[in-house]
Amino acid sequence: MNQNPSTHRSAVVAVAVLVLVFALFMLARGMIETWPVFLTPVQSGLGWSRAEVASVYSVLMMTFGLGGIITGLAHDRFGPRAIYSVGLLLLGGGYFAASRLDSVWQFYVAIGICGGLGAAAIGMVPAQALISRWFDRNLAAAMAFASTGLGFGTLCLAPLSQVLIDAFDWRGALEIIGGTIVVLAVAIILLPWQRISAGPVRPSGSSDGPSLLEAAKTRAFWALWGAFFATSVGMYAVSLQSVTYMIENGMDPLDAATAFGVAGGLSIVGMLVTGIAADRWDRRVIAVLSYGLSMIGLLALFLMPQLPVAAAILVFVTCFGLSLGVRSPIIATLSAQLFRGRGMASIYGSIQTGQGVGAAVGTWIAGVLFDATGSYGAIFILSFTALFVAIALFWLVPEMRVAGARNQKNQAANWGSDRGSDPNTG
């Protein structure tokens, strides 16, 4: 049977859209995940404390998270062309400006606020909205593919940043990376965004589905937010310190940055497998397995001084990497299915603030704990505690039990009745 030409064209455009949002998310998260590589050279170059350097990352992640609300609302109003072009200009301009700055508050503005808003604007909030317009079946797998941008970004940009730091110092590295992103914004503006945003999968209707305010009154909304928050506290409390931790335990700086990058690269496999599994099986089980891998990897890193270095790094990179970011496509898919309709982008953007706030809180507390104790033990305790909280949310909240996209219609039908009849949704 011959394939309908229009169907074939739609399939090609769908793949192109998926690749585009993947590439932009790769840049967004890759840039964020380069800060652990800049941690030591910036601290040495400017004479800051560990808490001060970590606090820049905290502001970056806080802004990245809260920027999800702004991005979602702006996307619903102005569309993807404006969001992506402004985001690239903010991200690139912020990092370029930081190459010429010296004080903590200036880095808060350039890296933290401009970089965070820019990364949010080209991240998963607009990606989720676009993907849900082009994919209905296998939605979780498509979300997972886009989310692998986190892994590719870390794999590529973390070692690249170290190479640029070695060649041009940290200021030159920031200047080169930031300037390249600003130039990229011009190419993004010229893309055919009307075609890109006109996917065949339509929302229920312009007036259907919950608004942001209505969604925020449900248990499901806060369960998803809490899962993002607790997971981010647990993962980022250690990940920001991981490169420096490995260096302090005898690794070469480039080897440590490469190990961190490879861990991010392995998340590609983890996200794809998780996305496919989440379309078919109970998401609670998939989530708990991923948290188990995270904990094994973190334990291996913690025991690095007592274990053979190569063995500890192998276990850390493998287990931590395979579980890095894999909860994000699950939460994005649940959000798209539970809250499809007029406020989908703003709702997911608001839920994603849990990720940014959790990362900010985790990295800030980790920096304070290190300065107070001079060791990493309390940081690892914080990480494990937060991950156990995340497991509890996935296991105990009923909305987290949805097995796959095939239940989407039932979820939409039940949303209104649950909101009105279940006393726990308020």
Amino acid letter for position 168: F
Q: What pLDDT, on the 0 to 100 scale, is given for residue 246?
A: 84
pTM of this structure: 0.66
Range 44-50, long-range pairs (CB < 8 A, 24+ positions)? 45/169, 45/170, 45/171, 46/102, 48/104, 49/371, 50/367, 50/370, 50/371
SS3 for 263-328 is: HHHHHHHHHHHHHHHHCCCCHHHHHHHHHHHHHHHHHHHHCCCCCCHHHHHHHHHHHHHHHCCCHH
More confident residue, 199 or 158: 158
Instruction: Count Cα atoms within 13 angstroms, Cβ side, for 310.
Output: 0
Give the pLDDT confidence score for residue 54 in this predicted structure: 77
Here the tokens at position 223 are 């369960």
Count of CB atoms situated within 10 Å of the CB of 235: 26
Q: Does pLDDT of 257 surpass 50?
A: yes
pLDDT at position 415 is 40
Higher pLDDT, 57 or 421: 57
CATH topology of domain 17-415: Growth Hormone; Chain: A; (1.20.1250)
Q: List the one residue out of 139, 27, 42 whose CA is nearest residue 404.
A: 139
Q: What is the pLDDT of residue 333?
A: 74
Q: What is the pLDDT of residue 425?
A: 30
Domain layout of the chain by residue ranges: 17-415
Query: Tens of pLDDT along 12-30?
Result: 777 888 888 888 888 887 8
pLDDT, residue 95, reads 92
Say which residue the tokens 């990940």 belong to.
239
pLDDT-based confidence at residue 282 (cuts at 50, 70, 90):
low
Residue 143 has pLDDT above 70, yes or no: yes
> pLDDT tens for residues 33-54?
788 788 878 888 888 887 788 7
pLDDT of res. 406: 41
Per-residue pLDDT, averaged over 65-89, amounts to 82
Select the more confidently predicted residue: 422 or 341.
Answer: 341
